[in-house]
Amino acid sequence: MRSRSEVVVNYVILIAFAAAVVLPILWLLGAALSPSAEGVVDLAHLHLNFGNFAAAWIQADFGRHLAISLIVACGTVLVVALIAPLAGYSLALLRPPGGKLLFALFLAGIMIPLEGIIVPLYFDLRSYGLVDSVPGLLLVQIGLSLSFGVFWMRTSIASVPPTLIESAQLDGAGRFATLWRIVLPLQRPAMITLALLVFMWTWNDYFVAFVLMNNPDQFPVTVALGDFTQRYSSEVNLMCAAGVLIALPVVILYIFAQRHFISGVLAGALKG
Amino acid sequence: MTLERLKGAPASRPLPAVRERRRPLARSLRDWAAAWAFILPALAIYVLIVVVPTVQSAWYSLWNWDGVSAASWVGLGNYLGFLQDPTAIEALGHTGILLLFFSVIPIVLGLLSAALLSRGRLRGEGIFRWVIFLPQVLPSVVIAVTWKQLYGPGGPVNTALQDVGLGWLQQDWLGSFTLALPALGLVGTWTTFGLCMLLFVSGAMAIPEELYDAARVDGAGAVREFFAVTLPGLVPQLGVALTLTIIGALRAFDLIWLTTRGGPGTSTQTPAIILYSQAFVQQNVGAAAAIGVLMAVASLIVALVIARFTGEGAR
């Protein structure tokens, strides 16, 4: 057993680490609520100005960008949650010839950094007329999420007990019925994790949207904030308020589904 | 027990035996076609968005193209151009410095905290875990906006220095040729530390308690215990943390673009920043593609080499 002093030392170190993480975030919150344009956080004369959120919302035309981000992130989650389990089911259980090779192809996508594809991707989309287009961005985000999605669902579906599958077959269940009635109900935790991770990656993405969207009217929230900071750099409090608004959806999901996020990110990290 | 369950006669067989030889459901050509049809939607989009552009990157990198007019063949010229460009070499040096902040420091700190925390549970651990992992779920743009202000001339970092009597250290951190890069590096440390810590703490929790008991019976102190038990048990997690953080450092873009744009001068340029400006500012599409290919190859090598030394095969 550990001594009392060891426990105290552990707490001191943990608190120091946690404080280092949390102080910048607290400052962001404070600046977002600060009445001064410089975003000065004056703890002595605390005056919380919630009007900043409304002001930032109006000045940055936030509603429009929010709608774009929501369409892209939710659309990506929906489509990936629909087609990744189909592919994962086939690769894990139906196992057609060439399936192993296909799985390797999907896995390779996890290892290839975005920079290795972004340049031709931009020009391809331009030739399809999908640059500066929300459907174009949605399509790209789906494609980028699929390698993880298929990997994740295949791994999860492969762990369904084979006896369950066999008994379904004996009952005369077809491929779809087996998937729908036996396999999918067991995938709830895996699907929730996948949906949360894909939502987070797509919502938080800056680079892809930054490259593919040049028209300010089509910016998702992240790119809009980057743009906002260039144009309204003197209004730090509004900038920070916008930042808080943008971070909020994923942070709220994280509050309620911490375990899914952490286990997903850690497992996703082990995906190689 | 339902009838359905009973009908599944194989259930009485020992499970591992079944697992080894699970029969594919697909048997005939028809079944194969159906199996492929399940994969097709995902495969089609994936090929269009990821596979084709990957191949195109390699092809583009052999051409000199401004994105509009006809391209001319340059062979490996774009690669040679990149490797002979002093700014590119400087950017690679910056990546080296970022590696220290994005990878080495978070991993050392993560191992340290795992060593301390794996010696038993603490009350309130869950809250600490929640807080320390938080930067991982924040959008990069919000992190960049926050730290740009924190480091600003009249910002909280300078105010805090003033308050603790280190006023002579005050400066415009991101405007400094020498300090901007390490200052941004520290933001990377701030972001990735929590991930490393959780990886190592959860890995350390899985180390059998008997190993620690044995070490303690041998009279090992905390330090010996760490090197004899904890560290060897964390090799797989170490591999993951190294892969993720090294690739993160190689790819650094959002944070730098949104704070310094590679400046002042070229003092915070990274390969990804050069790639972006080559492709979309200076219209050297081929040169940009070549940088993309080099970055992809570097990432693959990093991932494979680390897997070779820390993966299943290594032990």
A87/B57 Cβ within 8 A: no
Share of chain A above pLDDT 90, in %: 56
Chain B environment of A87 (Cβ under 8 Å): 38-39, 41-43
What is the rounded distance in angstroms from the CA atom of residue B220 to the CA atom of residue B198? 25
CA-nearest residue of chain A to B283? Answer: A119
Query: What ipTM was estimated for this complex?
Result: 0.92
Residue B72 phi, psi dihedral angles, 5° rounding = -120, 145
Residue B197 contacts A, CB cutoff 8 Å:
yes
B303/A124 Cβ within 8 A: no
Distances (CA, A) of B289 to A209, B99, B172, B182: 18, 23, 35, 28
B149/A31 Cβ within 8 A: yes
Q: Are strands B63-64 and B72-73 parallel, antiparallel or unpaired?
A: antiparallel
CA-nearest residue of chain B to A178? Answer: B25
Output the CA torsion sign for B303, A142, B132, A48.
positive
A204/B296 Cβ within 8 A: no
What pLDDT does residue A264 have?
Answer: 82
Mean pLDDT of A110-136: 93
For chain A, the straight-line distance linking the first and the last C-alpha, in angstroms and rounded, comes to 37
Select from A144, A262, A270 the Cβ nearest to the Cβ of B133.
A262
What is the model's pTM?
0.90
Residue A258 contacts B, CB cutoff 8 Å:
yes
Residue B136 contacts A, CB cutoff 8 Å:
yes
Token code pair at residue B255? 């944070």
What is the rounded distance in angstroms from the CA atom of residue B274 to the CA atom of residue A72? 28
Helix (H) / strand (E) element for B138: namely none
- For chain B positions 225-244, those within 8 Å of chain A (CB to CB) are 236, 240-241, 243-244
The helix/strand/coil state of A44 is coil
* A272 has a pLDDT exceeding 70: no
CA-nearest residue of chain B to A204? Answer: B139
Contact B132, B200 (CB under 8 A): no
Contact B140, A210 (CB under 8 A): no
Residue B27 contacts A, CB cutoff 8 Å:
no
For chain B, the straight-line distance linking the first and the last C-alpha, in angstroms and rounded, comes to 43
What is the rounded distance in angstroms from the CA atom of residue A242 to the CA atom of residue A260? 27
Please indicate whether residue A272 or residue A162 has the higher confidence score (pLDDT).
A162
What is the rounded distance in angstroms from the CA atom of residue A25 to the CA atom of residue B142? 10
To the nearest whole Å, the CA of A253 is away from the closest chain B CA by 10
Token code pair at residue B166? 């280190």
Chain B environment of A109 (Cβ under 8 Å): 46, 50-51
What is the rounded distance in angstroms from the CA atom of residue B94 to the CA atom of residue B296? 18
Average pLDDT, chain A: 89
Distances (CA, A) of B115 to A10, B100, B225, B255: 10, 21, 9, 31
Mean pLDDT of A158-180: 85
- Listed in order, strand segments (DSSP E) in B47-142 are 63-64, 72-73
Nearest 10 degrees: CA dihedral of B13, B17, B18, B23?
A: -140
What pLDDT does residue A270 have?
Answer: 53
- Candidates B300, B293, B271; CA nearest to B88 is B271
* Residue-wise pLDDT tens digits, A17-32: 899 999 999 999 988 8
B52/A207 Cβ within 8 A: no
Token code pair at residue B200? 């190592």
- Across chain B, which has 315 residues, the per-10-residue mean pLDDT values are 36 40 61 90 97 96 90 91 93 96 95 76 80 93 94 88 86 92 96 90 84 83 84 90 92 94 92 95 94 94 89 53
Contact B229, B212 (CB under 8 A): yes
Mean pLDDT of A11-19: 88
Residue B146 contacts A, CB cutoff 8 Å:
yes
Residue type present at position B74: V
Output the CA torsion sign for A27, A31, A35, A36.
positive
| Band of pLDDT at residue A57, cut at 50, 70 and 90 | confident
Q: Environment class of residue B33 by beta-carbon count within 10 Å: exposed (0-12), middle (13-18) or buried (19+)?
A: exposed
Burial A4-30 (b: 16+ CB within 10 A, else e): eeeeeebeeebeebbeebeebbebbbb
- Candidates B263, B257, B259, B260; CA nearest to B280 is B257
CA-nearest residue of chain B to A252? Answer: B137
- For chain B positions 106-135, those within 8 Å of chain A (CB to CB) are 109, 112-113, 116-117, 119-120, 122, 128-135
Neighbours of B130 (CB within 10 A): 16
Chain A environment of B22 (Cβ under 8 Å): 162
Residue B43 contacts A, CB cutoff 8 Å:
yes
What is the rounded distance in angstroms from the CA atom of residue A195 to the CA atom of residue A270? 18
A109/B50 Cβ within 8 A: yes
Residue position matching structure tokens 């552990």? A10
What is the rounded distance in angstroms from the CA atom of residue A246 to the CA atom of residue A241? 9
Distances (CA, A) of B41 to A78, A151, A260, B37, B287: 13, 15, 27, 8, 33
What is the rounded distance in angstroms from the CA atom of residue B82 to the CA atom of residue B61? 11
Residue B253 contacts A, CB cutoff 8 Å:
yes
Chain B environment of A89 (Cβ under 8 Å): 38
Token code pair at residue A120? 């031709």
What is the rounded distance in angstroms from the CA atom of residue A244 to the CA atom of residue A53? 9
Select from A94, A175, A251 the Cβ nearest to the Cβ of B137.
A251
- For chain A positions 197-256, those within 8 Å of chain B (CB to CB) are 200, 203-204, 206-207, 210-211, 222-223, 225-226, 229, 236, 239-240, 243-244, 246-247, 250-251, 254
Token code pair at residue A263? 């286990």
What pLDDT does residue B93 have?
Answer: 96
To the nearest whole Å, the CA of A58 is away from the closest chain B CA by 19
Select from B10, B45, B190 the Cβ nearest to the Cβ of A143.
B45
Residue position matching structure tokens 């959860």? B202
